[in-house]
Chains A and B, each alone.
Chain A
Amino acid sequence: MSLSSAQTSLLDKEPGFRHHPPVSDSASRSRRIKYMLTVLAFLLPSAIPLLMFTLGPMVAAAWISLTKWNLLLPPTFVGVDNYTKLLSDPRTGDVFLHTVYYIAGYLPLVYIGGLALALALNTALKGRSFLRGIYFLPVITSWIVVALVWRWLLNPSTGIVNTVLGFFGIVGPGWWTDPVWAMPSIILASAWKDLGFVMVILLAGLQAISPDLYDAAKVDGAGWWRRAVSVTLPLLTPSTFFVLVISLINGFQVFDQVYAMTGGGPAGASQVVVQQIYDLTFRYGRAGEASALSWMLFIVVLAVTVIQIRGQKRWVNYG
Chain B
Amino acid sequence: MADAAFTLTGPGSRMSPARLTAFISLHVVVIVGALIMFFPFLWTIITSITPGAGLTNAPSLIVENPSLQAYFRLFQERPFALVILNSILLAVITTAVQLVTSSTAGYAFSRLPFRGQTAVFAVYLATMMIPLQVLIVPLFVELKTFGLLNTYLGALLPTFASAFGIFLLRQAINQVPRELDEAATIDGAGHFRIFFSIILPNIRPALATLVVFAFMGSWNSFLWPLVVLRAPELQTLPIALAGLQGQYISDWDVIMAGSVVSVIPMLALYIFAQKYVIQGVASSGIK
Contact = CB atoms under 8 A, between A and B. Distances in A.
A239 B216 CA distance: 23
B4 A211 contact: yes
A266 B133 CA distance: 23
B38 A294 contact: no
Contact of B6 (A54, A123, A195, A256): A123
Interface string A33-45: 0011011011101
Nearest to A60: B138
B220 interface: yes
B131 A297 contact: yes
Interface residues of A, number: 113
Contact of A144 (B137, B158, B222): B222
Contacts of B71: none
A150 interface: yes
Contact of B40 (A11, A58, A149): A149
Interface residues of B, number: 101
A287 B140 CA distance: 11
B122 interface: no
A68 B262 CA distance: 40
Contacts of A205: 285-286
Contact of A42 (B44, B107, B134): B107
Contacts, number: 309
A106 interface: no
A11 B30 CA distance: 53
B104 A45 contact: yes
Interface centre among B59, B112, B185, B244 (most CB of A within 10 A): B112
Contact of B134 (A35, A46, A232, A297): A297
Contacts of B140: 71, 281
B80 interface: no
B44 to A, nearest CB: 5
A53 B157 contact: yes
Contacts of B282: 200-201, 203-204
A83 B191 CA distance: 50
Interface stretch (A22-30, A130-138, A167-175, A177-185): A130-138
A38 B223 CA distance: 36
A180 B133 CA distance: 27
A232 B7 CA distance: 13
B37 A57 contact: no
A102 interface: no
B222 A142 contact: yes
B231 interface: no
Interface string B131-144: 11111111111100
A297 B130 CA distance: 10
A249 B44 CA distance: 30
Nearest to A147: B242
Contact of A207 (B3, B120, B160, B277): B3
Nearest to B256: A152
Contact of B263 (A45, A145, A297): A145
Interface of B: 1-10, 26-27, 29-31, 33-34, 37-38, 40-41, 43-44, 47, 54, 58-59, 100-102, 104-105, 107-108, 112-115, 120, 123-124, 127, 129-142, 157-158, 160-161, 163, 166, 185-186, 188, 190-192, 195, 216, 219-220, 222-223, 227, 237-239, 241-242, 244-245, 252, 255-256, 258-259, 262-263, 266-267, 270, 274, 277-278, 281-283, 285-287
Given A207-B2, A215-B4, 14 more contacts: A45-B161, A46-B104, A50-B127, A54-B127, A120-B26, A148-B258, A155-B252, A200-B281, A201-B281, A204-B286, A205-B286, A210-B2, A278-B136, A301-B131
The 8 closest A-B pairs by CB, nearest first: A204-B282, A142-B220, A60-B138, A211-B4, A57-B138, A42-B108, A46-B105, A294-B134
12 contacts: A7-B113, A12-B113, A46-B101, A49-B157, A50-B161, A53-B142, A141-B266, A144-B242, A145-B259, A277-B136, A294-B134, A301-B129
